[in-house]
Structure 1
Amino acid sequence: MPEGHVIHRLAAHLNSRFRGGPLAISSPQGRFETSLIDASSLALAEAHGKHLFMTFSTGHIVYVHLGLIGSFRFEPAADVWGQIRLRLVAGEEAANLRGPQFCRYVSPADMQGILDRTGEDPLREDAAPADLFARVGASKRAIGSLMMDQKMFAGVGNIYRAEALFRQGISPFLPGNALTRVEFDAIWADLVALMRYGVDHGRIDTVRDEHSPDAMGRDPRKDDHGGEVYVYRRAGEPCFVCGAPISVRKVEGRNLFWCPGCQPGG
C-alpha cells in the first residue's frame, strides 16, 4: 500500500498541472459516473494521510483511497491502457486511476467524517503532535503497532515505521505509555523530514550519508520501493551500524523489521 508521501505527491501534481481549466473526465472502465463533473475544473486536491480528496468547480468531492493495488499515474493523454476507473485529461497529459480501494463521491459531511477518523499526518501543517503524544502515552500497545494505526499516525506505513524507529534507536515493542516525550518528538521530527523528502524526490531514502553505498563501499539497494534503508526488507543481513543480523517478525499481519543490537529492550 502506498505510504503517505505518495498521496501528498499526487495531490501536489494534480494542483500544479490539472487546476485552472476545464478537464475531460471519463471512466473508460465504466465503473464510475463522471457526467456530474465532466468538463468541470479541479478546484483543489488535498491529501490527509492515505486519503485523497478532489473538489471540483461543480462542488462535487471525489474521494480516492488507493488501497493495496491502486495506482494514480500521470501519463500521455494518447496512452490509454488497462482498467481505468477515473481519467482526468488536461491537454496532452492524463491522470489515470486504476484499481483503487475507493473512488466515490462524498458530501462535505462524509469527508469530515473520514477526517475525524484520521490521525495526525506528519506532512500537514495543521497536524497536532502534542495531541497525538497524549494518545500514545495513554496506550499500552507497542509503538510499532501504534505507528501503523491510521487513526494515530496518518500516512505512516511499514517502511517509515521501521526506519524511523531504527534511526532513533527505539524498540518497536516499547509500549506507548513507556515512550518519553523526547523520544516521541524525535520520532515525529524524523517522520516529518523523511516523508517530506519522499514528497520532493518520489522515493524513500532513510540512510544517513555515512552509511550510504559510496561511504561504505557496498552495492546500492535493489528493490521495487527504491531508496536506501536500514532495516526494511533486510532480514538476516548485517546492520550498517552495529553488524547484527536484522530481525523480522510477523506482527498484526505485517512484517516488522528491526535491529536487536541498535534497538534493544521493549
Structure 2
Amino acid sequence: MPEGHIIHRLAAENHRAFGGRAVRASSPQGRFADGAELIDGRELEAAEAVGKHLFLGFGEDAWVHIHLGLYGGFTFGAIGDGPVAAPVGLVRLRLENDEHVADLRGPNTCALITGAEKAAVAARLGPDPLRADADPDAAWRRLAASRTTVAALLMDQKVLAGVGNVYRAEVLFRHGIDPHRAGRELLRAEWDAIWADLVALMREGVGAGRIDTVRPEHTPEAMGRPPRVDDHGGEVYVYRRAGMPCLVCATEVRAEEHASRNLFWCPSCQPAGTPAR
C-alpha cells in the first residue's frame, strides 16, 4: 500500500495537470459513472492529501475521495496532437483536459463526497507529518496512554496518518527503539525525535518518489556495497532485510508478523528495555 509521501505526490501531480481548469471526467469501468458525470466539465479547485487519503475538490459539495488501498494506482500522460488513447484495463476514473490525461485503477475507495464528509474522514485520522497543520501532540497523547506496542501504534492511522510499514520500521531503527515497547513507555524526547525525523524523511520521499532512510555513512557508495534491489526502491536499514546483516552492527536483522503486518528490526541496535526517565 502506498505510504503518505506517494499520496502527497499524487495530489501535487493532479494539481499541476488539472488545477484551475475544467476537467473532462469519465468512468470507463462504469463503477464511478454517476460521480464522474457530476464533476464532468467542472474546475479542479483543490487537490489535497491527508495521510493515505487523496481528495480532489470540484467545489465544496463535490470532493472525490480516493484511497488506493493495496492495488490502486494513478497513471498520468501527456496528450499530443493525436486522439487520446483508449483506456487500458479497469479504469475507475479518467480525468483529462487538452494537455493531460490521468487514469485511476483499482482503488479501495473512489467516492464523491461533500465537504462535511471530507472533514469527517480527516477528523478520524491522526496528524500527518507532511501537513503544515499537523499537531504532533495529538499523536503523543494517544501513544503515551497506550499499552499497545509502539510498532503497532505507528501504523495506526488514527494515531499517525500516512506512515506505513517502511517508515515505521526505519524510523524505529534510526532511533534505536525496540518496536515491542508499549507506547506509554516511550519517552517524550524519543517521540519528538521520531516526529522530526518522519517530517524530514517523508518530505524527502515526496521529492524523490521513493523511501531512502540510510544516513550518508551507510549508503552503498560509502560502504562499498551493492545498491538495494527491491520493487519498493530506496536504501533502507531493516525493511525487507530479514536474515541479512545490519548495516550498522552486522547482527542478523529479524522479522516477525506483528499486528498482521511484517515487522523488521535489529535486536542489537534496538535493544529491549525502556530508558530511565
User: TM-score, with normalisation over the residues of structure 1?
Assistant: 0.97
From 176, 180, 201, the counterpart of 2:183 = 176
CA deviations over 1:111-166 (Å, ceiling 9, x no partner): 12111111110001111111211221011111101000000010000000000000
Which runs of no fewer than 5 residues in structure 2 stay unpaired? none
Aligned partner letter, 1:8: H
- Mapped to 1, the partners of 2:78 and 2:259 lie a distance apart of 40
Maintained 8 Å contact 1:37/1:58: no
Whichever residue aligns with residue 238 of structure 1, its letter is P
Aligned to 2:108: 101
What letter is aligned with 1:144? A
**Cross-structure match for 1:7:** 7
Structure 2 counterpart of 1:206, from 202, 209, 213: 213
**Equivalence for 2:57:** 55
Partners of 2:74 and 2:231 lie apart in 1 by 17
Counterpart amino acid of residue 11 in structure 2: A
Q: Deviations over 1:187-210 (max 9, x none)?
A: 101110110001011010001110
Amino acid at match of 1:13: E
CA offset at residue 58 of structure 1? 7.7
How big is each residue's C-alpha offset from its partner over 1:20-46, in whole Å with a ceiling of 9 and x where there is no partner? 211111111111121111111100010
Hey, what does 2:77 align to over in structure 1?
75
CA distance in 2, matches of 1:36, 1:113: 22
1:147 alignment partner, SS class: helix
- 1:149 is aligned to 156
Kept in 2, the 8 Å contact 1:28–1:83? The answer is yes
SS where residue 36 of structure 1 aligns? helix
- 1:67 partner amino acid: G
Amino-acid identity (%) = 56
Q: 1: distance between equivalents of 2:109 and 2:139?
A: 27
- DSSP 3-state at the match of 2:45: strand
* Backbone CA RMSD of aligned residues: 1.2
Decide whether the 8 Å contact of 2:14 with 2:47 is kept in 1. yes
Alignment partner of 2:74: what SS?
A: strand
Output the CA distance in 2 between the equivalents of 1:174 and 1:57: 45
Structure 1 counterpart of 2:43? 41
Could you tell me whether the CA contact under 8 Å between 1:40 and 1:58 is conserved in 2?
A: no
Q: Match of 2:39, SS?
A: coil
Q: Does 1:128 align with 2:130?
A: no
Report if aligned partners of 2:143, 2:183 keep a CA contact under 8 Å in 1: yes
1:236 counterpart (237, 243, 258): 243
Query: How many aligned residue pairs are there?
Result: 266
2:256 matched residue in structure 1 = 249
